[in-house]
Amino acid sequence: MTALGQSSRAVPIAILTTFATFMLVSLQIRGVGELVSRGASPIAVAGSTQLLQGLVTLGLIFALRPLREGVRRTFVGVRSGEIPLWTLAGGLAGALQIAVMGLVSPIIGIAALTVLLVSGQTVNGLLVDRVGLTPGGRRAVTPTRIFGALLAVLAVSLVWVGNSTKAEYSAEWWAVVLAILAGAGAAIQAALNGRVASLSGQPVVAAEVNFLGGAVVMWLLVGVLVLAGSRQSPVPDAGSAWLYASTIFGLLLIVNISWAVKHLGVLVLSLVGVVGQISGAIMVDFVLPLPGSHFAWTLLLSLGVSVIAVAVATLGRRAALAREAQ
- Rounded distance, CA 219 to CA 121, Å? 25
Q: Which long-range contacts (CB under 8 A, 24 or more apart) does 322-326 make?
A: 322/4, 324/4, 325/2, 325/3, 325/4
Domain span at residue 85?
A: 3-325
pLDDT of residue 4: 46
Say how many C-beta atoms besides its own lie within 10 A of residue 33's C-beta: 28
The CA distances from residue 325 to 10, 72, 313, 318, in Å, are 16, 34, 19, 11
pLDDT of residue 17: 93
pLDDT of residue 293: 56
pLDDT, tens digit only, all 326 positions of the chain: 444 444 567 888 998 999 999 888 888 888 888 888 888 888 888 888 888 988 898 888 888 888 889 889 888 888 888 878 788 877 778 778 877 877 777 777 666 677 677 778 777 887 888 877 776 667 776 777 777 777 767 766 776 665 554 444 444 677 778 888 888 888 888 888 888 888 888 888 888 888 888 888 888 888 988 998 888 888 888 888 899 998 899 889 888 988 888 888 877 887 788 788 778 877 777 777 666 555 566 666 766 776 776 667 666 555 555 554 55
pLDDT of residue 21: 93
- The pTM score is 0.71
pLDDT of residue 1: 44
pLDDT of residue 20: 93
Separation of CA 118 from chain center:
9
Is 4 in a helix, a strand, or coil?
Answer: helix
The 8-class DSSP code of residue 134 comes to: S
Instruction: Say if CB 5 and CB 263 are below 8 A apart.
Output: no
Number of domains in the chain: 1
